[in-house]
Amino acid sequence: MTEMVPAWVEGRLMPVEKLEAHQRGLRHMAISVFVMAGEAVLIQRRAAGKYHTPGLWANTCCTHPRWGEETADCAVRRLREELGITGLVTVFADRVEYRADVGNGLIEHEVVDIFVAEAPSDLPVNPDPEEVWETRWVDLTDLAREVKEHPERFTPWLRIYLAEHMERIFGKLRVVQ
């Protein structure tokens, strides 16, 4: 089944096949979720079989809402599908837009609804191996430092979120100095 995502074509929001949206660099909707346990964030390393940015570390999860799907519902769905996480309350943090080359001739031009969820540090995580290579908890300050020191290990969008949108996503108390 072809996955249709909401994308802007000639100024109108329309359903477009996900790969086509990336091939054409169309501005399209996305979601990103950060699961937090205090100051620690759960990050994932993308599976080797992903069609872009395989093996790179990213935020807890991200995807594109299906045509007609609310972004909040998409965030909950994707936590379940990628990581087997259920029962968390996702809270809308902000909407950001970015454009990034993700390799193989693909461009992400995304309008992203970002959600944050609080969780216990012993949260059961059961990653789908088709989506996620591995996961780890890392202190947000340490993650920001690691991304600055080794940007090649991280997805373009995580680098952008941490470099340009820390306060908008995590609030004033979590801004890395």
Q: Which residues are catalytic?
A: 62, 110
Walk along the chain (177 residues) and give the pLDDT tens digit of each residue.
Answer: 578 999 999 999 999 999 899 999 999 999 999 999 999 999 999 999 998 999 999 999 999 999 999 999 999 999 999 999 999 999 999 999 999 999 889 999 999 999 999 999 899 999 999 999 999 999 999 999 999 999 999 999 999 999 999 888 988 544 443
Question: For the chain, which residues make up each domain, given as ranges?
Answer: 4-169
Q: Could you tell me which residues are annotated as the binding site for Mn(2+)?
A: 22, 28, 64, 108, 110
Q: In CATH, which of 3.90.79.10, 3.20.20.70, 3.40.50.280, 3.40.50.2000 is domain 4-169?
A: 3.90.79.10
Q: How far apart are CA 8 and CA 30, in angstroms?
A: 12
Q: What is the signed CA dihedral for 99, 62, 40, 128, rounded to 10 degrees?
A: -140
Instruction: Please report, for residues 93, 146, 155, the alpha-carbon distance to residue 151 in angstroms, rounded to integers and kept in the order given.
Output: 24, 8, 8
Instruction: Please give the model's pTM, rounded to 2 decimal places.
Output: 0.93
Q: How far apart are CA 49 and CA 54, in angstroms?
A: 6
